[in-house]
Structure 1
């Protein structure tokens, strides 16, 4: 498994590689959201059902716009979400119709976050788009908290691991429905 700096990961992502990387609280698995072969490979490696959907993380909100249908979101709802970004808050927002079910799952929405983690931001800036983000663990298992745990679970199954430190959050991000305010997961 390659170990790369966040700024050096662009080629791996561009060629469809699945990567592991530190986030605010746990290691994540990610790939290019527009490469559906890579998204399927990520789902296979994680053994995650596509119906659950995935999160997209970005360094800035504009990177998420190609995936979002903001026509049913009020300015007040959008401002409330943006007031929490960058940070450990994931918002469930209506997805554009053309967004693959591999990303949005069996829903008409997609979960998105603007990250405050410097490594995540560097990766998203290097590829100028969001990354798929899901915790680095087999479905139903505890998320990896160290590079050694990533290697134990995913050696030979992913293209690279990104070097860096976890953030200071103790729990994965809070997930909130932007339209209703319903909290799906408390971080």
Structure 2
């Protein structure tokens, strides 16, 4: 194992872990998330195994800016008004389900032709994505059957002391992000 040159739990440590195709835990608006490089199949599949999330279910991508999400979105299937509505709500705690581009890997979208995306306003998420230069996979940090982690102690209890986690606090929201269909505008999950 290659030892890190950065302090465990620091932003640079977590970015280094992402570049090494590792899974990390990081704070979001309401809970800690688990994330990895969305383009690295082995990292995403390891995350799916850890979460016991079947391949048929899609994953959320989170980013600091819309530009990083564009390669995963089939923008031609969104009207100007649909895209403007989505962009007017970002950055913020609203996830949109959008048509996936033809190049979006199956390990992200499962059996769907769409992908869930969010531009976060949480500083830690924004710093991670900016430093990594890409969006991250985002799913709640919890083992199957356990509640999502809301602080570092809970992350350590569920995943162990050596699990890479960004040492920062979640935002002030009580509920995970709202999920909305970008085409129909329908709310899929209340936030």
Asked if these proteins are the same fold (TM beyond 0.5), I'd say yes
**Alignment correspondent of 1:105:** 110
Q: Does 1:172 align with 2:176?
A: yes
Q: Are 1:30 and 2:53 counterparts?
A: no
Q: Which runs of 5+ in 1 are unaligned?
A: none
CA contact (8 A) 1:48 1:138 kept: no
Tell me the residue number matched to 2:62: 57
Match of 2:10 among 1, 5, 12: 5
Deviations 1:97-132 (A, max 9, x none): 221221112110000000000000000000111000
Residue 185 of structure 2 corresponds to residue 181 of structure 1: yes
Does 1:96 pair with 2:101? yes
The question of 1:44 aligning with 2:60 is answered: no
Which stretches in structure 2 are left out of the alignment for 5+ residues? 1-6
CA deviation after TM superposition for structure 1 residue 38, in Å: 0.3
Higher RCO, 1 vs 2 (CA within 8 Å, ≥6 residues apart): 1
Runs of 4+ in 1 over 3 A off after TM superposition: none
Two-structure CA RMSD over aligned residues (Å): 1.4
Q: Does 1:154 align with 2:120?
A: no
Query: In the TM superposition, what is the alpha-carbon distance from 1:10 to its structure 2 partner?
Result: 1.8
**Aligned-pair distance for 1:3?**
3.5
Query: Does structure 2 conserve the Cα–Cα contact (< 8 Å) formed by 1:51 and 1:101?
Result: no
**SS of structure 1 residue aligned to 2:56:** helix
- TM-score, normalised by the number of residues in structure 1: 0.94
Paired position in structure 2 for 1:17: 22
Deviations 1:53-91 (A, max 9, x none): 110000000000111101110010000001110000000
Q: For residues 130-160 of structure 1, what are the alpha-carbon distances to aligned partners after superposition, in whole Å with 9 as ceiling and x for unaligned?
A: 00000001234311111111111112784x1
